[in-house]
Structure 1
């Protein structure tokens, strides 16, 4: 039922993706979860805690989020292979670590648009010229 890389998708698959989201993103997410499941328990616990945080504050779009999660799995798999202690990964402040980690990924279209809208509104309220035509309301 799945179309190959060079085959056009059937109307059914196109409709299914409209309703459920990208099938490719779902496949990537399942692969990521399988990688996390293979980590030692303490590393897996740390990744799952990071994942919860990222679900709330990380990139909102599927592609950006999946790249971030795959990089997270890479980081922890390499840390396990190198024998890096969890505290050495995170440092003294886990929130500082995750915020720096997230800064490497796009915020997602919705969040970026809302951040820009918020910043523009504050600039207008402060009487600063935003250089925009005011259509961001």
Structure 2
């Protein structure tokens, strides 16, 4: 990544954060929790851009404009809302599971090789 790309990504992120700060407080609070959740378990692709997060802000801006409470938009189970958003995406948990499976498989093959 060149410096120009880093600067452009930083500008996009700042604009993104500015949109979050314009949301009503309850929306900001839930957004921040969603962001934390997605950064922990979320899709691997999330680190490459802010598309999913921007989509959530779009949804939240629309809900706020209609006078809805944030939980009317997400439902009372915010984690389930997040899981639904990423259900078809490869997550970090999936990557870790695949890595662990490969490591166990490799170790088992090595052990079986020694037993012969």
Alignment pair present for 1:63 and 2:48: yes
2-structure distance, mates of 1:106, 1:67:
15
Give the RMSD, CA atoms, in angstroms: 3.0
- TM-score when normalising by structure 1: 0.60
The answer to whether the 8 Å contact 2:41/2:91 transfers is no
Alpha-carbon distance between aligned partners in 2 of 1:25 and 1:104, rounded to the nearest angstrom:
26
Question: Superposed, which structure 2 residues align to 1:2-21 within 5 Å?
Answer: 14=2, 16=3
**Could you say which structure has the higher helix fraction?**
2
Q: How does 1:38-53 map to 2 (within 5 A)?
A: 38-53=22-37
CA–CA distance in structure 2, aligned partners of residues 63 and 24 of structure 1: 13
Unaligned runs of 5+ in 2: 109-116
Give the structure, 1 or 2, with the largest relative contact order (CA under 8 Å, sep 6 or more): 2
- Taking the aligned partners of 2:52 and 2:90, their CA distance within structure 1 comes to 9
Q: Give the number of equivalent residue pairs.
A: 106
Residue of structure 2 equivalent to 1:118 = 100
- 2:66 equivalent among 68, 79, 82: 82
The alignment's TM-score, normalised by the length of structure 2, stands at: 0.69
Report the equivalent of 1:97.
81
Q: Provide closer, same or farther for how the CA distance between residues 84 and 119 of structure 1 changes in structure 2, counting only shifts above 3 A.
A: farther
Tell me which residue corresponds to 1:24: 8
| Structure 1 residues not aligned, in runs of 5+ | 1-12, 128-137
CA distance in 1, matches of 2:22, 2:15: 11
